[in-house]
Amino acid sequence: GTAALLLFAATIALLDRRGIVRIGASTTVGEVRRGLRRRDDALARAFDAVAAAFERRAYAGAAVGETQWQHARSAFASFDAPP
């Protein structure tokens, strides 16, 4: 649960630090998603995997299953590759 929240925060920080999307205090998950889709569909798909785990935990209060967690971690690894 907490890991999904931290992975999402790390994803947002990485995307902002690399200038892929600009994040403000009130930026929503949907705004990030739309910005990524305009830029690169592959980035958007990877973000969706991380965001799905985050949304499941943060908004639904549900547990993140092992398969979803592994998918989110793999997606993050694609962001974490050197630019």
pLDDT for 83: 58
pLDDT single digits (tens) 20-78: 999 999 999 999 999 999 998 999 999 999 999 999 999 999 999 999 999 999 999 98
12 contact partners, CB below 8 Å, separation of at least 6: 23, 32
pLDDT for 79: 81
16 contact partners, CB below 8 Å, separation of at least 6: 22, 23
Residue 63 backbone zone (phi > 0: left; psi -120 to 50: alpha; other: beta): beta
What is the pTM assigned to this prediction? 0.90
**82 has a pLDDT exceeding 80:** no
